Amino acid sequence: MAEEQKNSSKALKTQKKIRNVLAELLTKKKMRYITVQEIAEKANISRTTFYHYYTDVYAVYEHTEQIILNKLESIVQSLGAENETVMFRSIITYIENNSEVFRMVFSFNATARLRLMIGAMLESSLVKLWLKRADTRRPVVNETHKYLIHYHVSGCLSVISEWAWNNYSDPKEMVINTLMIANQAAEKTIMGLDEG
């Protein structure tokens, strides 16, 4: 049993090393130009070891996406239900703790699919929070609200992207405060549209 756990732990470490190497490479070039050989060399593993865990470079990326989405969904569902500050703080901390992977997420070389899924998750969470606090007589969110919420979340993701591409040089508290200021203004504007 202990040997089995050791192998499992070793497997997880190897997979993480492969994902981190891909993340690093994706900050420098497009995925179609990254080879299994290149990943194996940078990760100090054999190609056979790579193929033991993944079928190709795209499988590594998809696994990385799934891990990120699962964690962010967990954060949003458990911490975002009542308070955006806690949710944003937890998301920013997770990003900071996985900085290289998130530089890849916000890289022009990565696919936009993950950023879009993160955006949709944030949009849904924010709408639920805002509606919960809004006047109960308010109608459901209309098309104008949806576009404005999408615009707001795109801005939030741009703030996080800028932070990542500046090598996380600004304090995370400044980023969290920026997101909260934007979020409070957006909520007030978007949810107050029909009040005039």
At 144 the pLDDT is 85
How many domains does the chain fold into?
1
In terms of residue numbers, what domain contains 28?
Answer: 2-195
Count of beta carbons in the 10 Å neighbourhood of residue 59: 14
Task: Tell me if the pTM is above 0.75.
Answer: yes
pLDDT in tens, 108-132: 888 888 899 999 999 988 888 887 7
Burial class (CB in 10 A: 0-12, 13-18, 19+), 73: middle
**Considering only CA atoms, which of 22, 58, 55 is closest in space to residue 40?**
22
Look up the CATH number of the domain holding residue 161: 1.10.357.10
pLDDT in tens, 17-54: 999 999 999 999 999 999 999 999 999 999 999 999 99
